[in-house]
A and B are shown apart, each in its own frame.
Chain A
Amino acid sequence: GENVEQHPSTLSVQEGDSAVIKCTYSDSASNYFPWYKQELGKRPQLIIDIRSNVGEKKDQRIAVTLNKTAKHFSLHITETQPEDSAVYFCAASSGSGGSNYKLTFGKGTLLTVNP
């Protein structure tokens, strides 16, 4: 099955700095890579995603890059703010078609943005 590795497990940055979180995946058939943000005590929520036919996607201060050859993808947050502090999860979607898709998640990165 799919295996997703995520690094680092914790990341501390100063407000205004950039943060980068990296993930690798094992299944070359995976074709969808979402990122979720989970604030303390809350549910995970999608912040950005990328499909396998795209190399980069941006949404304001966040961007995701995908390297299919190397099987890795990264989340970039620029101009970090204290409200960006949360746990971030990467995931990869694999399945045999139709509705039979499931996400495999990385173990998460605790991002702390210091004022």
Chain B
Amino acid sequence: NAGVTQTPKFQVLKTGQSMTLQCAQDMNHNSMYWYRQDPGMGLRLIYYSASEGTTDKGEVPNGYNVSRLNKREFSLRLESAAPSQTSVYFCASRAGSAYNEQFFGPGTRLTVL
């Protein structure tokens, strides 16, 4: 089992460029999440998908869109990148109940110039 995988590992964008961060899990989990991590701010939820076919906004959704392509894959899109979106992005997945462990991907370090 690869667990949760993310691509790319690193990315540098110019302001206004667009890109999609990819995430996949092979644990047959229902729920998937996108977080951003900034120094001193912890992990903030951007969007989540409780189950295939549904997506919901988290704490900081502005400037992002998501697609739950199928049960395995959940992508995060930046349509017009801004320097404020410079961050480390983590994807995570969790089986669909209240007490299950949430597993994180290795992260994508994004810099927007």
Contact = CB atoms under 8 A, between A and B. Distances in A.
B102 interface: yes
Interface in A75-115: 89, 93, 95, 98-108
Sorted nearest first, the 3 A-B pairs with minimum C-beta distance are: A99-B96, A107-B42, A43-B104
Contact of A102 (B45, B99, B105): B45
A31 B98 contact: yes
Interface residues of A, number: 27
Interface of A: 1, 6, 9, 31-32, 34, 42-46, 49, 51, 89, 93, 95, 98-108
Nearest to B33: A102
A101 B41 contact: no
24 contacts: A31-B99, A34-B102, A43-B106, A43-B107, A44-B104, A89-B43, A95-B98, A98-B51, A99-B50, A99-B51, A99-B96, A99-B97, A101-B94, A101-B97, A101-B98, A102-B33, A102-B45, A102-B58, A103-B33, A103-B45, A103-B102, A107-B40, A107-B41, A107-B42
B104 A49 contact: no
B48 interface: yes
Interface bracket on B: 20 to 34
Given A89-B42, A99-B31, A46 B102 contact: yes
Contacts of A34: 101-102
B86 interface: no
A44 B96 contact: no
A44 B97 CA distance: 20
A63 to B, nearest CB: 18
B90 interface: yes
Given A43-B104, A43-B107, A99-B31, A104 B98 contact: no
Nearest to B42: A107
